[in-house]
Structure 1
Amino acid sequence: MMEMLNPPHIGQIVWVNRGRDSGKYAVIIGVVDQRYVWIADGDKRKFDQPKKKNILHLELLPLTSPEVADSIRETGRVTNGKLRFALNKYVEPADEALEKGE
């Protein structure tokens, strides 16, 4: 069994590279086990309808949203607005830099 160096954690930003949502960013809102996580983006994929994803189909980014992690830790849930805010805060600057480079 492959040992995970950085196990996925709640609030972590991921890039989906397989499936219907491929090419999109999302936030981990729950960890099922070593292999599966629940993701949502607050837009197409709401908190109440998260997607269960195999972590092999995700690229775990070295970014964590403390707002999302704290909210889930304290209340057990997070607003869709907060998920969108987290993704815009961390992902938009990176995307804009890529677009300007083209």
Structure 2
Amino acid sequence: MSVIEAKKPELGQIVKILKGRDDGKIAVIIGIVDGRFVSIADGDKRKFDQPKKKNLLHLELQEWISSEVVDSIRESGRVTNGKLRYAVSKFIEASQSNA
């Protein structure tokens, strides 16, 4: 079992896209389809209303989970694109300051 398979995806978790057109970009998990697929959005190119369904094998799960996104999805079933952009920018800011 690989490291990626050992981790379970969670709502609001930040991911790095490894395969496809958006290779190298950062997004947020906004839905879990099944054990193999999740829905992701970044609030900019990929909006909440049109999320991308991605295979977990094509994503690198990060340790960072956005509490704002999780709270918003649990309360209303939705999250604003602004909150998604904010979560992505905070993650990028934190990862750059750690490097």
TM-score (norm 2): 0.90
Structure 2: runs of 5 or more not aligned:
none
Code of the residue aligned with 1:40 in structure 2: it is A
| Match of residue 92 from structure 1 | 93
Per-residue Cα deviation, 1:35-71 (whole angstroms, up to 9, x for no partner): 0000000000000110000000000001100000110
| Match of residue 54 from structure 2 | 53
Code of the residue aligned with 1:73 in structure 2: it is R
- Say which one has the larger Rg: 1
Which stretches of structure 1, 4 residues or more, deviate above 4 A after TM superposition? Answer: none
Q: CA RMSD in A?
A: 1.7
1:1-102 matches, cutoff 5 A = 4-95=5-96, 98=99
Q: Provide the identity percentage.
A: 63
Residues matched between the structures, number: 97
TM-score (norm 1): 0.88
SS of 1:81 mapped into structure 2 = helix
